[in-house]
Amino acid sequence: MKRAALILAVLASPLWAGTDDLTATGDLGLVIERATGSLLVIDRSDRAAIGRVEGLGDLSHASLTYSPDERFAYVFGRDGGLSKVDMLTQTVVARTVQAGNSIGGAISDDGKLVAVSNYDPGGVKVFDAETLALVADIPAAGKTIGLVDVPGRRFAWTVWDTGEVFLGDFSGAEPLIAMIGNAGVNPFDAVLTDDAHTYLVGLFGEKGVTAFDLWDDAPKPEKFLTDYGREGEDMPVYKMPHLQGWAFTEGQYALPAVGRHQLLWVDRATQEQVATTEMHGQPVFVIAQPASPFVWVNFATPLNDVVQVVDSRSHEVVATLTPGKAILHMEFAPRGAEVWISSRDDNKILIYDTRTREKVAEIAADSPSGIFFTARAHRTGL
């Protein structure tokens, strides 16, 4: 009887009524599983993994960005692979191996173009977001880093070997590429402020950070923080700091010192250093907890089992957490209630409540590194 009822129910339900099977993507995300070349699909509300996408190649140092409708992810692999992943079907729907070695990418503000930053051969390639067909190929004299999207279908990037900074405009029939200045010796990464006003380039080969005012029609390099850590020897940098999460908070930039176990605070308006915070190790990611005065920091190996929280008003460390072994990344829920932390060597994602700073859940993952929630689709610069 029960079976008959079930069959009847199935037969009776019109095709469009299957709403229970539909998934919205607004609270989904992807975790890079770097060793296995796979992505774990996560559901933020359920605090759970809901699937896995495989066959993405070498995902060491991989990153990704999302389409404006939060359905597709564009995954930038170390081996030059660019993959388009459908969050709904959890499959790779397009893939191209577009270079020998790449480092990251960005999607244009209108969602039409995906740009990839390449090490070998150095340069930037731009693809149609729909088909992954090549739209433009812009060679560079070295490894390109710090590729960001700039409003108006533009991208900015920097060359590690030469320090040159480029702004590419892809809004017309032909791309317009302009060299806007030289950032300095060996820029290691760059980031765009949330208001798309300032492109900040961090330097490894010399002290300092170089800012470009992208609201200006003729941006010029302006160097600051050129004399931090004057006293004493620099320490070895066992992992390059990342700037994509650079915190902008309380009218300040919170920056990782290179070769120092310090966080540097710079007044956003004057570019003057206002404070230094002594930290547990070489900062890698410095990320602002949304809707709060706090920034969260992780560290380079071998001191990478700790996360510290710093108050941007007092510049003091207010919490030191030990979530697990080899903490590689942190991603906040868009409104800041939770932070998801990847522990590569414990093979776990740890979920912390940001008010209590207590762990509320954990998810198994295979050597997890970057965690990316779909809300990134609506953030400038990614």
Partner 1 sequence: MRKALALLLVAFPAAAEVPPDRAAELEHLVLQDCGSCHGLTRKGGLGSALTPDALAHADAEGLALIILDGVPGTAMPPWRPLITEEEAIWIADYLKKD
Q: Summarize as ranges the residues that interact with partner 1 (CB under 8 A).
A: 34-35, 58-61, 78-79, 100-101, 103, 119-120, 143, 160, 186, 188, 204-205, 236-240, 301-302, 326, 344-345, 367
Provide the minimum distance between the beta carbon of 185 and partner 1 in the complex, in angstroms, as a whole number: 9
Q: Closer to partner 1 at the Cβ: 35 or 135?
A: 35
At position 302, the amino acid (one-letter code) is P
Cα–Cα distances in Å, from 5 out to 1, 10, 15, 17, 115?
Answer: 6, 9, 18, 17, 53
Q: Which residue has the tokens 């706090």?
A: 294
Written as six digits, the tokens of 224 are: 């600051």
Please report how close the Cβ of residue 122 comes to partner 1 at its closest, in angstroms: 12
Nearer to partner 1, 29 or 77 (CB): 77
The rounded radius of gyration (Å) of the Cα atoms in the chain is: 21
Q: Per the structure block, which two tokens stand in for 232?
A: 């004493």
Phi-psi region of 230 (alpha: psi -120 to 50; beta: other; left: phi over 0): alpha
Q: How far is the CB of 148 from partner 1 (least distance, A)?
A: 18
Q: Which one, 210 or 304, has the nearer CB to partner 1? A: 304
Q: Whole-number minimum distance, CB 250 to partner 1, in Å?
A: 31
Residue 288: name the closest of 369, 368, 203, 379 by CA. Answer: 379
Backbone angles phi, psi at 15, to 5 degrees: -55, -40
The count of residues in the chain is 382
Q: Which is nearer to partner 1, 80 or 323 (CB)?
A: 80
Task: Please say which residue, 26 or 205, places its beta carbon nearer to partner 1.
Answer: 205
Amino acid letter for position 83: S
Choice between 120 and 316, CB closer to partner 1: 120
Smallest distance from the beta carbon of 145 to partner 1, in angstroms? 8
Q: State whether the Cα torsion 212-105-128-126 is positive or negative.
A: positive
Enumerate the β-bridge partners of residue 18: none
Nearest distance, CB of residue 258 and partner 1, angstroms: 10
CB of 103 to partner 1, least distance (A): 7
CA 375/CA 378 separation, integer angstroms: 6
Residue 191 CA to chain centroid, in angstroms?
10
Q: Which is nearer to partner 1, 98 or 249 (CB)?
A: 98
- Name the strand (E) or helix (H) holding 63: strand 63-66
Shortest Cβ 158–partner 1 spacing (Å): 13
DSSP classification of residue 303? S
Sheet with 221-224: strands ordered across = 187-192, 198-203, 209-213, 221-224
**Alpha-carbon gap, residue 376 to 70, rounded angstroms:** 9
Pick 99 or 180: Cβ nearer partner 1:
99
Nearer to partner 1, 14 or 302 (CB): 302
CB of 6 to partner 1, least distance (A): 49
Instruction: Decide if 293 contacts 311 (C-beta within 8 A).
Output: yes
